[in-house]
Amino acid sequence: MTVRRTRSASGSSISSSVVSHGPIGPCVSNDLPRVKVGERLASQSLNCTLSGLRGGVFASVLPVIAPDIPWNSGIMRAISVEAPEGLVVNAKQPAPCGGATVGGAYMVKNTAHSVISALATADPSTRDEAMAESTGSIQVFHVGGLNQHGYPFGGAVTEALTGGGGATAHHDGIDYAGPHEILSYQITNVEGDESNFPRLWLRREINTDSGGAGRHHGGSSLSSAFTVHDANFVHGVLMAHSLSMPSSTGLHGGLPGATHHVRLARGTNVKKALASGAAPVGVGDLDGPVTDYAGSPGELFLTPGDVVDWSFHGGGGWCDGIDADAQSVGADVARARISVEGAERYYGVVVKDGEVDVAATTRKRDEIRARRIAWPRSRSGDVPAVATRAGARRIGDKLLLAEAAGGGLVFACDCGHVLAPGSENWKTFAGRATLTAEDLGARVRLHPELVADGYACPGCGSLLAVEVRWQRDEPLHDVQLQRLS
């Protein structure tokens, strides 16, 4: 398969993402129109340098439309990346761009990957390569100072790469997968790190409920806590985006993965607690003032008694969580990937005494579907019936594009409910509800300038899409039919 051949079935689409900067700064939009131009795929975007923009697009394309060939620069000859000089994504001197890799370039990657995966879903030959977002943001924590042996040290805390992988049509996301464009990464082990650097780990473990819920859930991320040990200080810079933006987006009704969380406790009693044998594992077990960052922490000066407690983005989920295999969810509860509370809220699976309560699970899922069926619709009216579903194109997990009885095309759910004429935005005919951060996930934080919407089939109550957008934007018209000449 070649990239050009894979692309030949693609239509056009528009997607966007937003990222917040600073402690709880304003959101910055990152719109990415994609239009097909002959044998080339044109890409325009907003928000780093041109090399960062190209890198973000390249990283998004590789796993989806070039999975079966060696990744090489020839792939980019099938893609044009266009952005006038002076934009945030094509900055010119003296614009600062020191954080572009984990900022604008990374959001370009997320946005482009969402578009490519949505397009890939609509074609049977590429559907299996479509994926919810993996590790929607990475934190970069560079630290330095004098170590416990009196020598200078410096480097990155590499466990920040351990985000969850995105789910696919057939599989849960991979735990600790990291960015999907990095095929093989390594992080330091705790013992080796502690022997060379003045840090003592209190815990390093799976970040429960970090994978976005779905029929297949996103991969889990890592969670850890450490303190300054046997040194006077550790100086560092922690650059982190999307602490309040769920940028590990789900696909086709899947929920987003967890956002980053960073908590810093100052002047705690950690040394005394350890000496007493109490074995604290995080800031919740210690005394001392705690800062819970909603935006990038920036420069940090850590001294004995300070504790950094952080966790990372999980992977996005695929399709509706209440369609997940209940026994599989129960097994994930036993493995601490999902909490008992998370299983019930996001998957409709009731776990009691370590076992799935089948009858209670059926009732819970029926209740969730009934609530969604009652969601209000922006528009309603007569929509032509489907002539046959035999030749319908599956453009989502359950969303179909089918031929209407009187001619033309309609959007329909695979339960048989016809949603909207093919010329309209199907979302305006679906049930719609505003979702809170807690509705999106137990480990999700939502910036006050962002709005999350869920869209459900009025016939069966299946969750067909979840959208997070800037509050000033209209709901995204993400599936627009266009006849190509």
Residue with tokens 């001294």: 303
Question: Hey, which residues does 482 pair with through a beta bridge?
Answer: none
CA–CA distance, 460 with 413 (Å, rounded to integer): 9
CA of residue 205 relative to chain centroid, distance: 20
- Residues 121 and 253: beta-carbon distance below 8 Å: no
pLDDT tens profile 448-471: 999 999 999 999 999 999 999 999
* pTM to 2 decimal places: 0.90
Give every CB contact of residue 124 below 8 A, 6+ residues apart in sequence. Answer: none
Least confident window among 81-85, 95-99, 281-285: 95-99
CA–CA distance, 200 with 275 (Å, rounded to integer): 14
pLDDT at 68 (0 to 100): 85
Q: Please, which pLDDT band fits residue 170 given cuts at 50, 70 and 90?
A: very high
What is the pLDDT averaged over residues 255-263? 98
Query: Cis ω on the peptide bond leading into residue 475 (within 30° of 0)?
Result: no
Mean pLDDT for the chain? Answer: 87
- Residues 101 and 52: beta-carbon distance below 8 Å: yes
* Residue 165 backbone class (left: φ over 0; alpha: ψ -120 to 50; beta: rest): beta
Q: Which domains does the chain carry?
A: 1-130 (3.30.365), 135-372 (no CATH), 373-470 (no CATH)
Q: Is the pLDDT of residue 20 over 80?
A: no
| Percent of all residues in the chain with a pLDDT value above 90, rounded to a whole number | 63
Q: Please, which pLDDT band fits residue 485 given cuts at 50, 70 and 90?
A: low
What is the number of alpha carbons within 13 Å of residue 112 lying toward its C-beta?
A: 31
CA–CA distance, 132 with 111 (Å, rounded to integer): 11
CA–CA distance, 312 with 261 (Å, rounded to integer): 7
- Residues 257 and 221: beta-carbon distance below 8 Å: yes
Q: Is the pLDDT of residue 8 over 50?
A: no
CA-atom Rg of the chain in angstroms? 23
